[in-house]
Amino acid sequence: MDALKLISDSSLKENAPVVNVGDTVKVHVKIKEGEKYRIQVFEGTVIAKKHGGINETFTVRRVAHGCGIERVFPVHSPVVDKVELVRSGKVRRSKLYYLRDRVGKAAKVKEQIR
């Protein structure tokens, strides 16, 4: 069991996208329609990262037509084609669940200047 964990950790860290809480990202997701696959882009703010290692997931939130949408993506999933970093956010929390209660500009995260 330990050998399996070592192999999975070493091989998966190379391909894993670097995603931090507060970042605005574009997640390219493979969607199967019949026999064909297409790529759909889901853009939003990363509000949480959970678990670790091979089970690591991140939650992305966006507001579309006044309705908040959240999706949880596994980091090492073959369904996630790639993750693009749009802007990095400046936050002081590990979970940004308070953004769920905010509307408009109050729900924005400040950009981190690097």
The model's pTM is 0.87
In whole angstroms, what is the distance from residue 57 CA to residue 54 CA? 9
What is the overall mean pLDDT for the chain? 90
- The pLDDT, as a whole number, for residue 55 is 87
Dihedral of CA atoms 87, 16, 80, 93 in degrees, nearest 10, equals: -50
- The pLDDT, as a whole number, for residue 11 is 61
Average pLDDT over residues 49-63: 92
Range 90-93 contact pairs with CB under 8 angstroms and sequence separation of 24 or more: 90/22, 91/21, 91/22, 93/21
pLDDT digits (tens, 9 = 90+) for 66-93: 999 999 999 988 899 999 999 999 999 9
- The pLDDT, as a whole number, for residue 113 is 85
75 alpha-carbon distance from chain centroid: 8
pLDDT band of residue 53 (cuts 50, 70, 90) is confident
- The pLDDT, as a whole number, for residue 9 is 63
User: What residue ranges define each of the domains in the chain, with the CATH number in brackets?
Assistant: 2-101 (2.30.30.790)
